[in-house]
Structure 1
Amino acid sequence: MEAETEEGLTVESKGGRVKNQKIDKEGVVGKGVKTVKVVLRKALMCDVKSLYKLFSEYSKAGEMLPRSMSDIYTHLRDFYIAEIECETETGNEILNGNYSEKGSSGCEPEVIGACALAIVWENLAEIRSLAVKRPYTRKLIGTELIKKCIEEAKFFKITNIFALTYKPQFFQKSGFNVIDKSELPHKIWSDCINCVKFPDCDETAVMLKI
């Protein structure tokens, strides 16, 4: 129910210089060069159309379950998003920052990724709809979105997080282990009825115990 893969971090400007740099513990992605600022935050009502467009791109390719506008509105509080605020030539830029409606420099922000944490049962949550715009994959954005979901699960005292994925290796980098789908409760399959591959699911189940 996700779509994302990445290796390392590349920070690119639109029509400017390019700098390749690994993310550090403080989330610094650029210093003293023209770069972009990526911010992670909870989704807002104004993000729904962007989320729908992002998920539709991957669902049409058969890489994740489709999500209707109505479904996104209903579950909006489950989502974290990644957005590019603006190009900047100022000092250090922090991956996690405060959200402002038009970005810190007054330009329109752009949603480039999303991920949802859905609470399934007393001590079980699912990471759903992990997607990053194709030009921005392999830049650690998906990994950081997963970290946000894990933090939220810890807040709710949930110690088991699973996902259904075509890329188990990606989740294994964040500590997930491959499990048999039979280990998951039957109620999770209710969302799969809308999948074109139901009931022959070809995704891999992964689980993280925290």
Structure 2
Amino acid sequence: MILRKAKISDVEAIHSLVNHFAGKRLMLGRSRAMLYENLREFTVAEKDNIIIGVGALHIIWEDLAEIRALAVSSEYFKQGIGRELVKIFLDEARDLGIVKVFALTYQPGFFKKCGFTDIDKDLLPQKVWKECVNCPEFPNCDEKAVLIELPVKNESK
């Protein structure tokens, strides 16, 4: 398995994987336009030239980022792929100097196994008023909010 940044040629596979789970109400769907516009945020897990996992780290504010669109193909559940993607995103956040990473999810148990804790969505006003207001589920969103606080990266030279 290879973990790498997404490419334009991955968009259709990402769209299919994410929207497969969105169709089961396990996550929010993503349009092709959103995927193309935000492709630089995405990392994919690839095996035998097939995208088997995906996710993105989206910066919300100076100290806050979101893990979004995290999905792993059903055939590869429970093999650590989702956990590896989360690790990549947390490392990326640390490298950027971001100290808080959250997710809005229907799968809070997974994120808790990765060190996240439950929080109230009201503690994420930047997310709610910047993006959630445009979601078809707003204001009746039933996703759960989870957060992890990261140690500040040592900037010594």
- TM-score, with normalisation over the residues of structure 2? 0.90
Q: Distance in 1 between matches of 2:147 and 2:101?
A: 6
- State whether structure 2 residue 45 is matched by structure 1 residue 82: yes
Q: Distance in 1 between matches of 2:130 and 2:25?
A: 19
Structure 1 SS opposite 2:131: helix
Alignment: residue pair count: 150
Contact kept? 1:123, 1:157, Cα under 8 Å: yes
Query: What is the match of residue 121 of structure 1?
Result: 61
Q: How does 1:97-116 map to 2 (within 5 A)?
A: 109-116=49-56
Flag as ranges the 4+ runs of structure 1 deviating above 2 A: 186-198
The structure with more helix, counted as a fraction of residues: 2
Q: Give the % identical residues.
A: 46
Contact kept? 2:60, 2:126, Cα under 8 Å: no
- State whether structure 2 residue 27 is matched by structure 1 residue 64: yes
Residue type of the alignment partner of 2:124: L
Query: Which structure carries more relative contact order (alpha carbon 8 Å, separation 6+)?
Result: 1
How far does the alpha carbon of each residue in 1:70-93 deviate from its partner, in whole angstroms, 9 at most, with x for none? 1101000001100103xxxxxxxx
User: How far did 1:195 drift?
Assistant: 4.2
Structure 2 SS opposite 1:135: helix
Q: Distance in 1 between matches of 2:35 and 2:128?
A: 18
Q: Distance in 2 between matches of 1:43 and 1:161?
A: 21
User: How far did 1:48 drift?
Assistant: 0.6
Query: What is the match of residue 159 of structure 1?
Result: 99
User: How far did 1:187 drift?
Assistant: 3.9
Q: Which residue, out of 109, 131, 156, partners 1:169?
A: 109
- State whether structure 2 residue 143 is matched by structure 1 residue 203: yes
- TM-score, with normalisation over the residues of structure 1? 0.68
Bigger radius of gyration: 1
Unaligned runs of 5+ in 2: 151-157
From the superposition, tell whether residues 186 and 123 of structure 1 become closer, same or farther in structure 2 (CA, over 3 Å). closer
Residue type of the alignment partner of 1:203: E
Unaligned runs of 5+ in 1: 1-37, 86-108
User: How far did 1:181 drift?
Assistant: 0.9
Query: What is the match of residue 134 of structure 1?
Result: 74
